[in-house]
Amino acid sequence: MNKKSKLQMIQVEKLHPHPDNPRKVIGDVSELAESIKANGILQNLTVVPNNDNWDDFTVIIGHRRLAAAKQAGLTELPCAVVEMTEKEQLSTMLTENMQRSDLTVYEEAEGCQLLLDLGDTVAEVAEKTGFSESKIRRRVKLCELDEKSFKESQLRQPTLQDYDRLNQIKDIEVRNELLKSIGTNNFDNLLYSAIKKQETDEEKEKIEKLCLEHGMIKAQKHDEIPSNYEYTGFFALKDLIGKDFADGRKRYFYFGYGSNIYIYAEAWKKQEKNDPEVEKRKLEEQKWDELVEQAEEIDERCEALRRGFMLDTNFNDSKKKQELVKFIVAQVAAGAGNKKYRFEEIIEHNFEDDENIGSYINEHWNNDSGRMLMATAYALSQRIYGSFDYICVNYSDKTFSRKNNPELNRFYNLLCKLGYVMSDEEIQLRDGTHPIFTSGEVK
């Protein structure tokens, strides 16, 4: 086409919304329609011709104005008619919408991805949209998520940081599963578990490769081990690196809890089939070891959730400080002692042996008194129990019971007053209804 761009009045019925408009939902235009009724169209639309006759057009900029004008009863609108390639049309719509913050987070993500698909670099998309390059990369990662699940998750109003944290998980199916819990009180717990499982799976791959390189045979369970093989130990990856297995014996291995493995080696001397009762006791011992490890992992996960909340929350709000002050006063009145290393962990500062702690606190109090109060409350709350958890491991009869831990109860009450939300698992541990107490197994 050789016709130049021009401004002209065009009948409304000849103007059509662009099918690839990144803003999928126009929204309520009633207020804009009333303004148009009173003042008319104050800014022209930008359109492209659909044919050489220039008598039918597609809107590039002004979709809300077109919808509002129709609602207001206008029959024609001022339009700047321009000629653009398909790529230029899409780029213009995306850039215009994103610069005006008219898009949802997911629409922004789709827009960034489409610009990249059209051939723009991340740097070029950043220049067009005004977004930072890191923001663009984070947005594009959202496009990997299931769109329906993402839109449903938005109803729970999670933060953008929550979506960013999903990127720690490499498996997209796991990310989409976690998307179902984002914005709930269980998200942090499930995400932490998924990260630990990812780390465990990666470690299992390394262990399996190492074992196979040493000529070991992988078994799925103990029943696959021949009777003339003897148990040689329970190993983690660090135990296997550099270990010498060149003694001429064949070996079997199978995974226990987490990434640890049991290794059985061919016996040196020919031996009769093991006593079934002895084998049964060995398996019970192994199962017990695994359950103990699970209990330790549960405690570690719950502690990580509490610690994460304390590290990520601003406690300088006056109401939160008041709760902390009241808690600390009550603890001191009960004769609480200080545990320096706990205090250091939460304020994220390690004191040197000759450093004056009082001087440090005085120097930094005005800027971070809330965190110092939080750290003090955390240290004081652990004055009685060496382990800050609810699980009591009964080694004599190999059972688990709920530990009565009033200090931890009070500390959870404080955290909740400060904005912390307990996961379902933490509530089960507190109330004694966790499966590890009732069945001896973690579900």
Same domain, 303 and 387: yes
Report the Cα 307 to chain-centroid distance in Å.
16
Same domain (yes/no): 428, 300: yes
CATH classification at residue 66: 3.90.1530.10
Encode pLDDT of 137-166 as tens digits.
988 999 899 989 998 998 898 888 899 899
Q: Do 305 and 401 share a structural domain? A: yes
Domain stop point among 56, 83, 110? 83
| Range of the structural domain that residue 351 is part of | 294-438
Instruction: Compute the mean pLDDT over every residue in the chain, rounded to the nearest whole number.
Output: 85
CATH number (domain holding residue 125): 1.10.10.2830
Question: In this structure, are 299 and 418 located in the same domain?
Answer: yes
- The stretch 359-370 carries a mean pLDDT of 81
Residue holding tokens 């109330």?
431
Residue 125 lies in a domain: yes
Average pLDDT over residues 394-410: 88
Could you tell me if 100 and 79 lie in one domain? Answer: no
The strand pair at 251-255 and 217-218 is best described as parallel
Which of 65, 83, 101 is where one domain is finished?
83
**Is it the case that residue 58 has pLDDT exceeding 70?**
yes
Structure confidence at residue 442 (pLDDT) = 47
DSSP assigned state of 386: S
Asked if residue 393 and residue 314 are part of one domain, the reply reads yes
Q: Is 207 a member of any domain? A: no
Count of domains observed in the chain: 4
- The reported pLDDT for the residue numbered 139 is 87
CA gap 204, 252 in Å, rounded: 15
Q: Give percent of the chain above pLDDT 70.
A: 90
pLDDT per residue over 302-342, tens digit each? 999 998 999 889 999 888 988 888 877 656 545 544 555 56
Same domain for 172 and 305, yes or no, is no
Which pLDDT score is estimated for 234? Answer: 87
In whole angstroms, what is the distance from residue 433 CA to residue 248 CA?
50
pLDDT, residue 336, reads: 46
202 in a structural domain: no
Residue 208 lies in a domain: no
- 304 and 413 assigned to the same domain: yes
Tell me if 46 sits within 8 A of 61, measured CB to CB. Answer: yes
Kindly report which listed range (12-26, 171-185, 279-293, 409-423) carries the lowest average pLDDT score.
279-293
The pLDDT tens digits for 127-143 are 877 788 988 898 899 98
Do 234 and 368 fall into the same domain? Answer: no
Q: How confident is the model at residue 27 (pLDDT cuts 50, 70, 90)?
A: confident
Domain annotation covers residue 200? no
The predicted pLDDT at position 415 comes to 94
The answer, yes or no, to whether residue 262 has pLDDT greater than 70, is: yes
Q: Is residue 2 pLDDT above 70, yes or no?
A: no
Average pLDDT of the segment spanning 244-248: 87
Long-range Cβ contact pairs of 197-201 (< 8 A, separation 24 or more): 198/168, 198/169, 198/170, 198/171, 198/174, 200/258, 200/259, 201/259
pLDDT at 443 over 50: no
Report the Cα 40 to chain-centroid distance in Å: 48
pLDDT digits (tens, 9 = 90+) for 166-207: 999 999 999 999 999 999 999 999 999 999 999 999 999 999
Report the pLDDT value the prediction gives residue 101, as an integer from 0 to 100: 58
Looking at 23, 54, 83, which one is the last position of a domain?
Answer: 83
More confident residue, 9 or 106: 9
Q: Flag whether the pTM goes above 0.75.
A: no
Q: Are residues 327 and 403 in the same domain?
A: yes
Q: Are residues 285 and 389 in the same domain?
A: no
- The rounded distance, in Å, linking the Cα atoms of 331 and 337 is 9
If asked whether residues 179 and 61 sit together in one domain, one would say no
Q: Rounded to 5 degrees, what are φ and ψ at 253?
A: -140, 150
Mean pLDDT is lowest, of 87-96, 330-339, 354-363, 408-417, for 330-339
Predicted local distance difference test score (pLDDT) of residue 102: 58
Cα–Cα distance, 82 to 90 (Å, whole number): 14
- Does the pLDDT at position 240 exceed 80? yes
Q: What is the mean pLDDT of residues 61-71?
A: 93
Span 86-128, pLDDT tens digits: 888 888 887 777 766 556 778 888 888 888 888 889 998 888 7
